[in-house]
Structure 1
Amino acid sequence: MIVDVVIFMIGLTVLSWSADRFVYGASALAGNLGISPMIIGLTIVAMGSSAPEIMVSFTASFSGNPDTAVGNAIGSNITNIALVLGVTALFKPMLVASSTLKREMPMLVAATLLGIYFLADQKLTRTEGIILLVGFFAAIFAVCWLSMHADKKDKLEQEISQELDLNVDTPKALFWLVVGMILLPLSAQYMVGSAVNIAKFFGMSDLVIGLTIIAIGTSLPELAASVASMRKGEDDMALGNIIGSNIFNILAVLAMPGLIAPGIIDANAAGRDSYAMLGLTLLLVLFSFNFRGQRRINRWQGGMLLALFVLYQIILIGW
């Protein structure tokens, strides 16, 4: 048991570090190829935030644990909104100024509803996995289109340009890109294997281990990135990381069990957990569009999200 916990922590650390190196190398390489910072920020950085979840979902599905993969997709979205956004807003109220982010909100809601629809019959088919993956590439295209047609004075573009380190020569960028691509799947494999052993020790289901330990673990980089962005006054970038990651979690992460291990899934994923994810997603949209005044996610709203996260964890443990 202790060995599995140590392996899990090491795997999680390497997973997070390799995802960061992947983003660093891919972003720098894209910058050297003349791709705009806005597109890099909304695609490569967002995909990099979801890279741990994608690798874990792929590994879990390939190992015959599709419920863990499904739980990781749903649990990561719940954690990103309720824990990451909740803690970040408690740290400092978030001003939602970017018009680009407001245009991404409908994409997030649509992706969430599509995922819930596919899970409603308590199974994931290979066809549904393909549709989700096609939706993933369509979302990338849509985000690129939004980036190219965004207002050059959009606050998000200014924040991304300031944050990204694109002054890296191509050989160095390629080196870190390859390092990230190698270590991501390796660390995910060890992390999933140890997590399954931990779950069996405590009598937890594959779904719950994906919803809790793995989801929280793979969302820690988003938490660190969001708090760091808020400390720099980059409110829109903090929120953009969460929105982009959640879109890709549904379309790419949830596609893995459908593509690799199609079949029956835990009924709780189709009911309890899907509706918790939908409810929190709608709260995120509601908080971001304050119709009575300035669009700001305040501390009391962050506290509410964090309380809902704690309540959800209690429900999972006692279910």
Structure 2
Amino acid sequence: MSALIFVLLGLVALVVGGDMLVRGAVAMAQRFGLPPMVIGLTLVGFGTSSPELVTSLEAALNGSSGIAVGNIIGSNIGNILLILGIAAFLVPIAVDPAAFKRDGLVMVLASALCLGAVLIGDIGRLAGLSFVLALALYLSYTLITERRLDDSPESAVYEAEADLVAVRGHALGIDLGIAAIGLLVTILGAKFLVSGAVTLAQVAGISEAVIGLTIVAIGTSMPELVTSVIAVRKGQGDVALGNVLGSNIFNILGILGITTLVQPMQIPPEIIQFDIWIMCAATALLVLFARTGWRVGRREGAIMVMCYIGYLTWLLV
């Protein structure tokens, strides 16, 4: 019971802390005059992925590579099948071809890099550095090209992501304090979550990887779920899709890269044999649905959610 309480407290703290971190950081960025496109691409992208980053780092440093890697792989699976599936089921999502061809391609390439690294069996600091540099290259290229183009579909998505983060004007010190408290709460939440998840796996007699792929991954993906649902309810389905694409790119290149740069990890055998292939299949399914009529409708959304339910059933039963 205490392990479950730790997990629940950790998840709540991650969601609350991540939200405070994003709002404080965005408020400061707006105060310093950063363009909405830059805020949406960088701060919102990194901020909504902060729970995954802090949790995977905490797990890796504690020697729980199953939770660390499972969190990343499971989050990417959940982002596509569960979060985008729910969003598309609520409101069909129109896909902009130009925006998807770039960010969708980067997501596919990042997934291929992740597959190659996982199949090797261990990810060291050199691989982690390569992932981080690839992310930096992607962000730099995107920022440079979007600043040269006015009102492009891609920049419109990033600007809309920034607009979704409602920020009230505060003094700079208050905004900084909100961001700092959010970071602290996120770190504490990760400690509670990892500690509870390890104990829960031991008590339940299941692997840490399964806990990472399910409870931890779903919990740390809550910011993406909230952002996507808000977006589709406002009629901004392209933001929901962009949120998922950006999050999956950040999860692989940023979170996996930074985590292994700090602490190299062995990949659990079950992830090599099964879960990494599910992530790749989910990525391929997203590409197929998105390019079929450049629209992800309710039927496709329902199929995604059913696939995710089937995946969870396979893991837990």
Q: TM-score, normalised by structure 2?
A: 0.93
Structure 1: distance between partners of 2:257 and 2:161? 29
Q: Deviations over 1:181-229 (max 9, x none)?
A: 2221111011110011111111111211110110011112211221111
Q: Please, which moves more after superposition, 156-165 or 87-96?
A: 156-165
Q: Percent identity?
A: 35
Matches within 5 A, 1:186-205: 186-205=188-207
Q: CA deviation at 1:271?
A: 2.9
Matches within 5 A, 1:9-158: 9-97=8-96, 99-152=98-151, 154=153, 155-156=156-157
CA contact (8 A) 1:73 1:250 kept: yes
Q: Please, which moves more after superposition, 63-72 or 308-317?
A: 308-317
Q: Deviations over 1:258-284 (max 9, x none)?
A: 234324321222231111111111211
User: Which residue identity does 2:117 align to in structure 1?
Assistant: F
Matches within 5 A, 1:116-265: 116-152=115-151, 154=153, 155-156=156-157, 159-160=160-161, 162-165=163-166, 168-169=169-170, 170-265=172-267
Q: Deviations over 1:49-71 (max 9, x none)?
A: 11000000000001111121011
Structure 1: distance between partners of 2:50 and 2:71? 12
User: Which residue identity does 2:126 align to in structure 1?
Assistant: T
Structure 1: distance between partners of 2:149 and 2:161? 13
Against the structure 1 CA distance between its residues 161 and 44, is the aligned structure 2 distance closer, same or farther, given a 3 Å change threshold? closer
The aligned length equals: 314
Task: Name 1:275's counterpart in structure 2.
Answer: 277
User: Which residue identity does 2:46 align to in structure 1?
Assistant: M
CA contact (8 A) 2:21 2:47 kept: yes
Structure 1: distance between partners of 2:187 and 2:252? 19
Against the structure 1 CA distance between its residues 202 and 157, is the aligned structure 2 distance closer, same or farther, given a 3 Å change threshold? closer
Q: TM-score, normalised by structure 1?
A: 0.92
Q: Please, which moves more after superposition, 280-289 or 205-214?
A: 280-289
Structure 2: distance between partners of 1:178 and 1:140? 24
3-state DSSP of counterpart to 2:221: helix
Task: Name 2:313's counterpart in structure 1.
Answer: 314
Q: CA deviation at 1:157?
A: 5.2
Structure 2: distance between partners of 1:139 and 1:3? 43
Structure 1: distance between partners of 2:183 and 2:142? 23
Q: Please, which moves more after superposition, 205-214 or 26-35?
A: 26-35
Structure 2: distance between partners of 1:252 and 1:221? 17
Gaps (5+ residues) in structure 1? none
Against the structure 1 CA distance between its residues 143 and 16, is the aligned structure 2 distance closer, same or farther, given a 3 Å change threshold? farther
Structure 2: distance between partners of 1:289 and 1:87? 19
Structure 1: distance between partners of 2:257 and 2:18? 20
Gaps (5+ residues) in structure 2? none
Structure 2: distance between partners of 1:8 and 1:263? 23
Against the structure 1 CA distance between its residues 190 and 164, is the aligned structure 2 distance closer, same or farther, given a 3 Å change threshold? closer
CA contact (8 A) 1:11 1:188 kept: yes
CA contact (8 A) 1:95 1:296 kept: yes
